Structure 1
Amino acid sequence: MRGRTVTLITAAAMLAGLFAATPADAGTPLGTLAAQRGKHFGAGIDVGQLTDVPYTTILDREFNAVTPMDSMKWDATEPMRGQFNYTRGDRIVAYAQQRNMIVRGHTLVWHSQAPAWVQSITNPTMLYDALVNHVTRLTTHYRGAVYAWNVVNEPLDANGAYRNSFFYQRLGPSYIATAFRAARAADPAAKLYLSEFGAEGLNAKSDGLYNLARSLLAEGVPLDGVAFQGHMVIGQIPADMVQNFQRFAALGLDIAITELDVRMPLPRTAAKDNQQAADYITMVRACLVVPRCKGLTLWTFSDKYSIIPWTFPSQGAATPWDANMQPKPAYSAIYSTLSGG
């Protein structure tokens, strides 16, 4: 581990002049470069950002895919039982369609950001009915507009066991298969993914995720892929990430990196920027070398809207553009990697 850290730091130092930030409009858009490699390159967005002209200028130029960060979650779409509101999600879908971007749906079932009325259902049959209805209504509404769904989000704990969420407590692990089957019945064409964080490398959590995916497939559950979120820390990219991705691909599953950011302890420095650039190279290359990896999505692309500072106090600067929409060395690193450098 010590030797690997030294290697990463040395690589970052070597990148120092090479990946000085360059104007983002200097070359081919990142989305175009990714498409030339058979991948998509996306951004997590939300409706509040669509009025930010400097932000949308970069979004429109660089990306060919978007994921609503919050606008399709349960609390946004069904805040009261049976009362659905698709306004925010519809706006993002319309924005994407006008620009020929694909949309990834996020997320149908998650223990977090579930309204209080859902969490308060203690009767298993009633919770089952609420889950199936929610998944069915959402996937039916967006049928044909969403190419893939993160169906169940973060079902495991750090050790790879089932997370003791209210879904698990009242329905057991079967709630996962139930959600996938309901989604497939409502939208047979959409690709259905299992989403998790902290499972990018070979570890207890990724072992649990692998076993879960394998058991779902054995049960005939319509699982099409695994979404590795990719919330990373500078200098701590798993060395065995490609090996991990490949074992899921060997199950016949697609792979995607769906919430990519690489955070650093603040304040930001040139050395940290260069390490971050090296880490983004590693993440992008991991997707490029695994044929079943369909693409990457940044969460999001500017520090102005990054979730990191309020999720991890004293950390941040996790994205390829700063809060003023200026590209960092990470942008040039991604560009070079997608270009074949």
Structure 2
Amino acid sequence: MKTLKLFLSTAVLGTLAMGCTQEAEKPSEPKTLRQAYQDAFYIGTALNRFQIEESDSVMAEIVGKEFSSITAENMMKSMHIHPKRDTFNFEMADKFVALGEKYDMFVHGHTLVWHSQLSPWFGTIEDSLEFADATEKHIKDIASKYKGKIDSWDVVNEALNEDGSLRNSIFLQKMGEDYLASAFKWAAEADNGADLYYNDYNMTNPEKRQGAIAMVKNILDQGVKVDGIGMQGHWHLNSPSLEEIEQSILDYSALGVKVAITELDVSVLPNPWDLEGAEISQNFENSEGMNPYKDGLPDSIQVKLANRYKDIFSLFLKHKDKISRVTFWGVSDGQSWLNGFPIRGRTNYPLLFDRDLKPKAAYDSIMALKERFDEQQLAN
């Protein structure tokens, strides 16, 4: 009897061992961006209305698997969400928030105060006090509706000129520079649990950087909550330099706030010499020289793009203790706003997924980078 039990036990153990061996030999599912970077920072993407509605099943799978954070590319800007003074359109914003809940994502709201894509009715208000009251109501109505559902907000977007001075926007004209602190104060009163960000482009430029630091410090010194600074990453193959990006991360973090890399894309196309950052009102004439890759991206440029992303993400990983979120401005090349900015009709390739929704060499480069980073961490 003991012999039989021993035989059965040995057989069972052998079967289990074989099962474990077979299980170990099974090819594991490749990691996604979301999985690879989950211990570093949120990896996000901006979504258009078709992606929010999950019209394309392949695109929907990419969004759900690859990203841990989402931003509405356009649908929460005032002209869409608050088209008339007494009319809100929350349909797409509700779907956007529901999508984030579906995939257990960090949900970022963009944007509460911005001079561009502003609902026209703001411009019809002549009285300054009435304008301030309308702005307060706009911020509070939207932020309070999504209290506990939206994790962070771009409260004020693009309020600075390139020299670091305040942009002469309708908000500055009607309310003076106090509109900045007021906007953050009102957002905090509506939802104190959400992280509140200032967001802008060309934030690596020294003059603009100093202006942003002075502005945010002034708001903080008034006892008003600012949780972070969003550095828009509308960058190029050769600029800004890694040194400028790193110095900016360090300087913003020194304020005691979080740093988010927002709107990240890397243009591979030449731009007009007098292009001013991501100011969307700019438009230049198309030409063959300005649209060199309309029939496809050469392998040599694919390699340059992959190396550029690898170098940028090496820097992000170095400072992952300071960076809260890295958000790509779109999912695939075909969706990117850079196909039409600053020259309409161009073909650009700035993101990690191509027009067929396949991962590019740039995707592989930052995945391999994170794997090496993790191995080095274990070795140390």
The two structures have a TM-score, normalised by structure 2, of 0.80
Cα deviation for residue 285 of structure 1 reads 2.6
- Corresponding residue number in structure 2 for 1:303: 333
Secondary structure of 1:36's counterpart equals coil
- Corresponding residue number in structure 1 for 2:342: 312
Task: Give the alignment partner of residue 293 of structure 1, picking from 285, 306, 323.
Answer: 323
Larger relative contact order (Cα-Cα within 8 Å, sequence gap ≥ 6): 1
- Corresponding residue number in structure 2 for 1:48: 50
1:240 maps to amino acid: E
Distance in 1, matches of 2:327 and 2:313, equals: 10
- Corresponding residue number in structure 1 for 2:32: 29
2:365 maps to amino acid: A
Cα deviation for residue 41 of structure 1 reads 0.4
2:364 maps to amino acid: S
1:212–1:340 distance in 2 versus 1, CA, 3 Å: farther
Instruction: Determine if the alignment matches structure 1 residue 196 to structure 2 residue 225.
Output: no
Instruction: Determine if the alignment matches structure 1 residue 63 to structure 2 residue 67.
Output: yes
Distance in 2, matches of 1:90 and 1:107, equals: 15
Cα deviation for residue 287 of structure 1 reads 2.4
Checking the alignment, whether the CA contact within 8 Å between 2:100 and 2:106 is kept in structure 1 is yes
- Corresponding residue number in structure 1 for 2:357: 325
Structure 2: tracts of 5 or more residues without a match: 1-27, 270-291, 374-380
- Corresponding residue number in structure 2 for 1:21: none
Number of residue-to-residue matches in the alignment:
315
Distance in 2, matches of 1:85 and 1:146, equals: 17
The two structures have a TM-score, normalised by structure 1, of 0.89
The structure 1 segments of at least 4 consecutive aligned residues displaced by more than 6 Å after TM superposition are: none
Instruction: Determine if the alignment matches structure 1 residue 271 to structure 2 residue 300.
Output: yes
Cα deviation for residue 293 of structure 1 reads 0.5
1:321–1:26 distance in 2 versus 1, CA, 3 Å: farther
The 5 A counterparts of 1:143-158 are 143-158=147-162
Distance in 1, matches of 2:306 and 2:61, equals: 23
1:224 maps to amino acid: D
Greater Cα offset, 25-34 or 227-236: 25-34
Instruction: Determine if the alignment matches structure 1 residue 75 to structure 2 residue 79.
Output: yes
Secondary structure of 2:139's counterpart equals helix
Greater Cα offset, 319-328 or 46-55: 46-55
Cα deviation for residue 170 of structure 1 reads 1.5
Q: Percent identity?
A: 30
1:270 maps to amino acid: D
- Corresponding residue number in structure 2 for 1:338: 370
Checking the alignment, whether the CA contact within 8 Å between 1:284 and 1:296 is kept in structure 2 is no
Q: Per-residue CA shift, 1:275-311, capped at 9, x if unaligned?
A: 2112212322332222121120111120121111112
Distance in 2, matches of 1:155 and 1:202, equals: 15
1:151–1:340 distance in 2 versus 1, CA, 3 Å: farther
1:319 maps to amino acid: L
Secondary structure of 1:327's counterpart equals coil
The 5 A counterparts of 1:97-246 are 97-199=101-203, 201-238=204-241, 239-246=243-250
Checking the alignment, whether the CA contact within 8 Å between 2:213 and 2:255 is kept in structure 1 is no
Cα deviation for residue 315 of structure 1 reads 5.9
Checking the alignment, whether the CA contact within 8 Å between 1:151 and 1:193 is kept in structure 2 is yes
Distance in 2, matches of 1:106 and 1:278, equals: 30
- Corresponding residue number in structure 2 for 1:8: none
Structure 1: tracts of 5 or more residues without a match: 1-24
Distance in 1, matches of 2:342 and 2:211, equals: 25
Cα deviation for residue 126 of structure 1 reads 1.2
Report the structure number with the largest CA radius of gyration. 2
Q: Per-residue CA shift, 1:154-190, capped at 9, x if unaligned?
A: 0001111111111111111111111100000010100
Distance in 2, matches of 1:164 and 1:283, equals: 33
Distance in 1, matches of 2:300 and 2:175, equals: 48
Greater Cα offset, 218-227 or 282-291: 282-291
1:116 maps to amino acid: P
1:203 maps to amino acid: P
1:43–1:179 distance in 2 versus 1, CA, 3 Å: same
Secondary structure of 2:268's counterpart equals strand
Cα deviation for residue 26 of structure 1 reads 6.4
- Corresponding residue number in structure 2 for 1:19: none
Cα deviation for residue 57 of structure 1 reads 1.6
Q: Per-residue CA shift, 1:41-78, capped at 9, x if unaligned?
A: 01100221221122112111111111111111111111
Greater Cα offset, 135-144 or 306-315: 306-315
Distance in 2, matches of 1:179 and 1:30, equals: 34
RMSD over aligned Cα atoms: 1.5
2:300 maps to amino acid: A
Greater Cα offset, 27-36 or 104-113: 27-36
